[in-house]
Structure 1
Amino acid sequence: MRPRSLLLAAVFVLAAGCSSTPPTSAPGAAPQAAFPVSVEHEFGTTTVPAAPQRVVSAGYTEQDTLLALGVTPVAVTDWYGDQPYATWPWAKEKLGSATPTVLTAKDGPDYEKIAAQRPDLIVATNAGLDRAQYDRLAAIAPTVAQPKGGSAWFAPWDAQARLIGAAIGKPDEANALVDGIKKRFADTAAAHPGFAGTPAIFLQAPYYDGSAIAYQNGLSTAFLTDLGFTVPAEIDRFAPEGDSTQAYIPIENLGVLNAGKVLIWATEEASARTELEAQPLYRTLTPVQNGNLVFTDATLAGAIYFSSPLSLPYVLDHLVPQLDAALAGNPGTRPAA
């Protein structure tokens, strides 16, 4: 498995319109709404003239937002994980029996394949677009790029959701979706007061090039801080200059992980935990000895990385019980003697 650092490049909508009568919606398309609508993004303003019927999801995670809002894209973009139709388990029910074309974007958008879908809207809020790439997509169909002033990759999930919602004529539904998820996090945090102020560190697993990769405080750890946890600043000194997302901690410096009361390891493969525990210094860490650990499976790790309106509820359902157990000290997570 390639480290997510090689797959993640980093890590306010204006809507206007006049009354018009859009065409009757096809299955999977946006319902009747007040079109045209105009939305502002990083590269300007895009006008969507009518309710889109053939939406292409050109970035790594946008399909989740579209599906959550009741729009089934005609094409989706595969990120990683080899999931059928690039759709992870948390989104399969929303996809239903649809069989969208699967695109790849390892070297940028697949313009020819996208054009072949005859799209009337291209959603590329998490496609890492630069100006030239945006212009090429916009020549195919109205295109919505990343939120204005946001990261080209993995801008805040809520900003993406609101932008996509406005573009498909569902701003109210998008706002309600975002607010509902945020309320779930707030309610969960209130129901687990022990999370408040507890230092926790989220890490990839196992080690990469002799280092442990920990996520610093920010968008990649919002799923923890929104539950009340804190991310200790002690790991920040191991981040490359100019990088505020990931800290690369040499194995000989693993002791810095004692700054976390809880360690959450994204163990996507069965062998990852074995590799972690093979390091003698890992076994000396206080959270390891006390069982203050969470080991994810591949699906939970993917849900955390996706940070989408469909994956975040999955994270709450599956991670929170493990966090409870970790805080109490879970003997099952301690290395075997």
Structure 2
Amino acid sequence: MHIRPLHRTWTVCAIALTTAGLLTACSNSADEASSMAGTSSDSAVFPVTIEHAFGETVVPEEPTRIVVAGYTEQDTVLALGVVPVGVTEWYGDQPYATWPWAQAALGDAQPEVLSATGDGFEEEKIAALEPDLIIATNAGLTEDTYDRLSDIAPTLAQSDASTAYFEPWDVQAEKIGRALGKKTEVDALIDGVNQKFADAAAAHPEFADKKAIFLQNAFYEGKAIAYQDGLSTDFMTKLGFVVPDDIDAYVPADGGGQASIPLENLSVLNAADVLIWGTEGPGDRAELEKEAVYDALEPVEDGNLVFTDGVTAGAIYFTSVLSLPYVIDKLAPALDEALDGTPATITG
């Protein structure tokens, strides 16, 4: 089973949430989302029919026992004021597979945590939770796994075969909102995220048309992993940046939008006005700086660098209605500094 479309070795550890500022920021994002979403579904809309890659799913009545079988969909469910009975751990070892930006929406709830493993879905555990809806829009469903999960409960799948993982966040959110009877609420959430991007772009006109490249936290097997325009780069382009197509030459045929750049060709990163490294701890930056070819890059010499912390990197990869506002709040001021030639390190 293909666990994730991100070609990286996750250097993951539990992130201690001891910083009051981080907790406040996360609480604000989740509280704002919950207030926009409301907590009640419109029961008059049921039954609801959702089309997807394997046909259509009918949700006969308002679901009350929801299992999230995908990697990131709990954010949307929680943002809509609904607490799932089961969630899936993707990475990060966060409490109840819920990252800081969504913890306020989770509250004191303790959903069952399922594992995303190469062995497939934990179908027995899912069935034991007696769900009336299984959400798996970001779960890599095949027709076979969809059929098996549908034998347990109505199952929400990805839109088509090409989006088995990481379908656009707003497309996923809209389907989930309709399945929960909360179309008005989810539309408001999506509009709110887009407006936050627009406001941040307007507040930082210096971002417009600047070239930015987002990279993973380290060099893997002598290569840097950078992202083409599309996968994991909306957070930059919606702020006004453009992703230079110079890196496209290093995307393999099955690369899924990821450029795998050998260190001997790392100078291609000089096409960027700013480099954003998805670092997860101080040691990551130190490891990058051990490579002479890294130190010789123009953005490195000019200080046009952003280094994330582990939570911000996770928020970028989650790309959800709850994580994206967190990304904007953390990244916009850091990018402002980096463009002025001061390397910015995001911390909790």
- Structure 2 length-normalised TM: 0.86
The change in CA–CA distance for 1:275 and 1:190 in structure 2 (over 3 A counts) is: same
* Contact 1:46/1:142, CA 8 A, preserved across alignment: yes
Shift in Å at residue 31 of structure 1? 5.9
- Equivalent residues, number: 313
Q: Which runs of 4+ in 1 moved over 4 A?
A: 28-31
What is the SS of the residue equivalent to 1:201? Answer: strand
- State the Cα distance separating 1:68 from its structure 2 match: 0.4
Structure with greater contact order relative to length (CA < 8 Å, sep ≥ 6): 2
Residues 294, 280 of structure 1: alpha-carbon distance in 2 compared, 3 angstrom cutoff: same
- CA–CA distance in structure 2, aligned partners of residues 67 and 249 of structure 1: 38
Match of 2:326 in 1: 314
Q: What is the alpha-carbon distance in structure 2 between the residues aligned to residue 226 and residue 150 of structure 1?
A: 23
Q: Which residue of 2 aligns with 1:193?
A: 205
Is the CA contact (8 Å cut-off) linking 2:158 and 2:164 kept in structure 1?
A: yes
Matched ranges for 1:1-337 at <5 A: 4-5=6-7, 30=41, 32-106=43-117, 107-148=119-160, 150-330=162-342
Deviates more, 1:41-50 or 1:160-169: 41-50
* TM-superposition CA deviations, 1:163-195 (whole Å, max 9, x none): 000001011111111111111111211221111
CA contact (8 A) 1:30 1:70 kept: no
Aligned mates of 1:250, 1:100 — CA distance in 2: 43
Deviation, structure 1 residue 33: 4.1
Structure 1: how far apart are the matches of 2:229 and 2:49?
34
Task: Provide the C-alpha distance between the structure 1 equivalents of 2:181 and 2:258, rounded to a whole number of angstroms.
Answer: 36
Q: Which whole-Å deviations, capped at 9, do the CAs of 1:250-304 have from their partners, x for residues lacking one?
A: 1111111100010000001321101100001111111101110000000000000
Shift in CA distance, 265/287, structure 1 to aligned 2, threshold 3 Å:
same
C-alpha contact 1:30 1:52 (8 A) present in aligned 2: no
Partner of 2:18: none
Aligned-pair CA distance for 1:205 = 1.5
Conservation of the 8 A alpha-carbon contact between 1:30 and 1:53: no
- Whole-angstrom CA distance in 2 between matches of 1:122 and 1:331: 43
Q: How does the TM-score come out when normalised to structure 1? A: 0.89
Letter in 1 for 2:316: I
Give, in whole Å, the separation in 2 of the partners of 1:42 and 1:98: 32
One-letter code aligned to 1:147: S
Indicate if the aligned counterparts of 1:62 and 1:125 stay in contact, CA closer than 8 A. yes
- Take 2:5 and 2:70, find their aligned partners in 1: how far apart are those partners? 19
CA distance in 2, matches of 1:219, 1:309: 16
Distance 1:92 1:40, change over 3 A: same
- Percent identity of the aligned residues? 60
Stretches of structure 2 that go unaligned for 5 or more consecutive residues are 11-38
Deviation of residue 148 (structure 1)? 3.8
For residue 187 of structure 2, give the secondary structure of its aligned residue in structure 1: helix
* Inter-partner Cα distance in structure 2 for 1:203 and 1:240: 16
Q: Distance in 2 between matches of 1:4 and 1:268?
A: 15
> Is the 8 Å Cα contact of residues 4 and 204 (structure 1) preserved in structure 2?
no
